[in-house]
Amino acid sequence: MLVVKNLHASVGDKEILKGIDLTVRAGEVHAIMGPNGSGKSTLASVLSGSEKFTVTEGSAEFLGRDILSLPIEERARMGLFLGFQYPVEIPGVTMANFMKIAVNEHRKYRGEEPLTAGEFLRLMREKSAVVELDPKLTSRAVNEGFSGGEKKKNEIFQMAMLEPRLAILDETDSGLDIDALRIVATGVTRLHTEDNATVVITHYQRLLDYIVPDYVHVLYKGRIIHSGDKSLALKLEKEGYDWLINDYREE
């Protein structure tokens, strides 16, 4: 589904990603962990097509297509979803209106007819239940005045509405209390199928109690320095990153 090879990316003349290799197949859940500043969020941004970063080397294929030259919206319509670490507020634009355009753009891309008003409302109701999102929030402006927990739930709600093939969730667990964490994580798990894949970027093992990863990768200084199964996350929780990154410090 996603094949990333030797991906290098910079902001200005500062190189942040220094050769990422990552393969994600349908049905898999990957967790990317690593200390602050290791490039986790940059990897998410670069894959989704943020124009802040310049790819200087390497390749990224999604569903067999080279995506690095595609604009953000086209990658999104292909089925690549980014759950934002800091969801953006958009005053004056209601969630319902925003999602209606988004869902119908995805449908148009797949050659499907737009949803009728009734179908759309039903879909919204059904999907807001997945993350226990207060249905009233859909008539409010996008993320405006939402609490931290509501914003993150709202990300997963949008993911449920758009049914992506690959969801990259950038620290969706940060700033959540334990109830919100459970709701968000349960939502993600319920949305997981054999046809889609999830990459969760996280600092904490606790998210992985709910979302059980097939693979755990440690990103450090712009490279994946170690990969393993879910037991790696437990070991990191207990022992920290030191035993892994000592060898790389001097570089």
Partner 1 sequence: MIVEDLITASGAQPLPDNGLLAGGVYALADAGDKSLTVPGGVEASLVVVHTRQDESKLSIELLDAASLSIVVLCEAGAFAEIDIAQHGRSACRLTALMLSSGELACNASLKGREARFDMNGAFVLTGSERGRIRVDVDHLSPDCSSITLVKGVASGSSYGRFEGLVYVAPDAQRTDSQQTSRNITLGADARIETSPQLEIYADDVKCSHGATVGQIDGEQLMYMRQRGLSREQAQRLHIEGFVGDVVMHSAVESLQEQLSARVGAKLENIR
Q: Does 54 bind partner 1 (CB under 8 A)?
A: no
Q: Does 90 bind partner 1 (CB under 8 A)?
A: yes
Cβ nearer to partner 1, comparing 18 with 106: 106
Rounded Cα–Cα distance for residues 153 and 160 (Å) = 10
The answer for residues whose C-beta is within 8 angstroms of residue 44's C-beta and 6 or more apart is 82, 168, 170, 199, 201
Measured CA angle at 29 (ends 21, 107), to 5 deg = 95
- How remote is the C-alpha of 15 from its chain's centroid? 22
Q: How near is the Cβ of 79 to partner 1 at its closest, in Å?
A: 10
Q: How near is the Cβ of 1 to partner 1 at its closest, in Å?
A: 18
Q: How near is the Cβ of 234 to partner 1 at its closest, in Å?
A: 32
Cβ nearer to partner 1, comparing 168 with 218: 168
Contact with partner 1 (CB under 8 A) among 53, 109, 120, 210: 109
The answer for residues whose C-beta is within 8 angstroms of residue 139's C-beta and 6 or more apart is 94, 95, 96
Q: Does 153 bind partner 1 (CB under 8 A)?
A: no
Q: How near is the Cβ of 101 to partner 1 at its closest, in Å?
A: 6
Contact with partner 1 (CB under 8 A) among 63, 68, 141, 225: 141
Contact with partner 1 (CB under 8 A) among 66, 73, 237, 239: 73
Q: Which of the 8 DSSP states describes residue 191?
A: H
Nearest residue to 37 via CA among 64, 11, 59: 11
8 A C-beta contact, residue 204 and residue 173: yes
Rounded Cα–Cα distance for residues 75 and 77 (Å) = 6
Q: Does 55 bind partner 1 (CB under 8 A)?
A: no
Binding to partner 1 in span 162-221, by CB under 8 A: 162
Binding residues vs partner 1 (CB under 8 A): 48-51, 71-73, 76-77, 81-82, 84, 87-93, 97-99, 101-102, 105-106, 109, 141, 158, 162
